[in-house]
Structure 1
Amino acid sequence: MVITHNINRMKVTNKLLKNEKSLLTSMKKISSGLKINSASDDAAGSSISTKLKAQIRGLARAQINVQEGIHLSTEMSNSLNLISDNSLIRLRELSLKGASDTSGTEDREAMQNEIDQILEDIDSVADGTEYNGKKLLIPPKQTIYIQSGANAGDAFKIESFEVKVFDIGLGGINVSTRGNAVEALDKVDTAIKKVASYVGEAGSIEEGLQYFSGKLAEYEQNLTSSNSRIEDADLAKESLDLAQRNIITQATQAILAQSNQSPESVMELLK
């Protein structure tokens, strides 16, 4: 008979240690809300989750970039509309008035003064339209890239416009004579068409970025849902597991107490 080694006690102790480790793991999952608190919990799942979280963070940053791009395109649209709806339409009215022989010399001088002021206003609006230091409506044209996704190749391209007076063909227009006024009217009509096309392009840019924003939000939601299935704990299940492990721990402790008494009983008999 072997009485110096209590094998049953060793088995029960090992079982108790394993159960306490599982109990601690369940408690961590419940307290953190995560079923993966370290790579050892699920090495493959942890690796996938890390990649998903990198993509999710990238999409969140791309969403901010796209919103900044929308603000940029809105700034362009507002300025282009201001030039088109206010300045160019008023220039057309003045050119039409000057194209009539009913306009006298003083009328033409007053009209020309207003035209010169409008032309200055157009240049002022073009010069002042910028976003974070980037000029949007003056030469030279530039390409502005918006990082619109989580990966290197995801870029949305925005082309700036040139709408200063000479760029849209209105340099030096005057209504000093009927002939000059008719010529000015043709130039203004051409400028209106050009700026109108720019307004349409700016609107398309904003529409495209709004579309990207919606797709980014949808993609981010899908990835977050996928990561949740990998990483988030099922609290109901973990709570049930915790209760079961508590019961097992209590039962194992009771068995361990009994196994400790067995060798003592044998020694008593040998006295």
Structure 2
Amino acid sequence: MAVISTNLAANSAVRYLNANSADQTASLSKLASGSRIVSAADDASGLAISTRISSDVTALTQAATNASHGTSILQTADGGASNISDMLQRMKALASQSASGTVTDSERTYIQAEFAQLVEEIDGIAQSTRYNGESLLDGTSDFSTGMVVVVGSDATSDTITVTIDALTSTELGVDASDISTQAGATTAIAAIDAAIDSVSSARANIGALESRFEFRSNTIATSIENLEAANSAIKDVDVAAESANLASIKVKTQAAVAAAAQANSMPQELLKLLQ
């Protein structure tokens, strides 16, 4: 039915024009942002999953840093323990020298002077081997009882407990050793051997923890890579497909504009019937 009071054709054309224009805007937003999910309405469940994955990736990235810090702590502790082990070797040599009947008591006094300095230096190294202001080898930090390092997205279960044995002269049992006499030197040798074993055990524990952190770091890196790939599949826009979609929408928008123009001219054409 031909009417001039209500332009039904124009209304229909404008409705399609608005819809196509909205689709074009949405497509441009996706291409500009690089994301398939610009708003929750685009994919509500996908957005929820993507947000959770992004959260896990963020936590794992920090966990990788935590693992790196844990490795650095252990390397610092091992460096100090290595120096203590070297000093114990020297102390054993001095004790063996003093225990020999080839030296006199006056010479043993000189040997004892060096020995005593090395005992003090063991404590000095134990106290000065620090990380972030905390002494690692004197038993005063939390590392002596067990420091928990978070190495995953779950702070409860994804942890590694770092425990570092105290390596002071008292803990090693050499603080009371005196090699100024032949008998004292003989006794000191046994104490030093036990101390060397204790340091070796502590270093073995440190090395085992370092190895664990290394493997966990590799696992974290793999997890981050896989999660980011999964998140990309959910959230990232397919540029080729969206570009093709945008081209199609542009044609529809242009057609709607042309149709609206034609619809607006229809009443003028109907007026010719009155002439």
Normalized against structure 2, the TM-score is what?
0.94
1:118-157, CA deviations, whole angstroms, 9 ceiling, x for partnerless residues?
1111000001122223332123532111011111212210
Structure 1 residue identity aligned to 2:98: G
Distance 1:7 1:148 in 2: 66
Aligned position for 1:117:
117
Structure 2 residue identity aligned to 1:163: L
Aligned position for 1:224:
228
Provide the secondary structure at the position in 2 that maps to 1:166. helix
Distance 2:251 2:110 in 1: 98
Structure 2 residues not aligned, in runs of 5+: none
Aligned 1:131-150 pairs, distance under 5 A: 131-139=131-139, 141-150=144-153
Distance 1:183 1:196 in 2: 20
Distance 2:73 2:9 in 1: 75
Aligned position for 1:129:
129
Provide the secondary structure at the position in 1 that maps to 2:171. coil
| Deviation of the 1:17 alpha carbon | 0.9
Aligned position for 1:94:
94
Structure 2 residue identity aligned to 1:123: D
Aligned identity (percent) is 31
Which segment drifts farther, 209-218 or 248-257?
248-257
Aligned position for 1:259:
263
1:53-105, CA deviations, whole angstroms, 9 ceiling, x for partnerless residues?
11111111111111111111111111111111x20110111111112100122
Aligned position for 1:59:
60
How many matched pairs?
270
Structure 2 residue identity aligned to 1:56: V
| Deviation of the 1:258 alpha carbon | 1.5
Aligned position for 1:163:
167
Which segment drifts farther, 169-178 or 182-191?
169-178
Kept in 2: contact 1:144–1:160 (CA 8 A): no
Structure 1 residues not aligned, in runs of 5+: none
Aligned position for 1:69:
70
Kept in 1: contact 2:50–2:235 (CA 8 A): yes
**Structure 1 stretches of at least 4 aligned residues deviating more than 4 Å after TM superposition:** none
Structure 1 residue identity aligned to 2:241: K
Aligned position for 1:238:
242
Asked if residue 172 in structure 1 is aligned to residue 176 in structure 2, the reply is: yes
Distance 2:209 2:240 in 1: 48
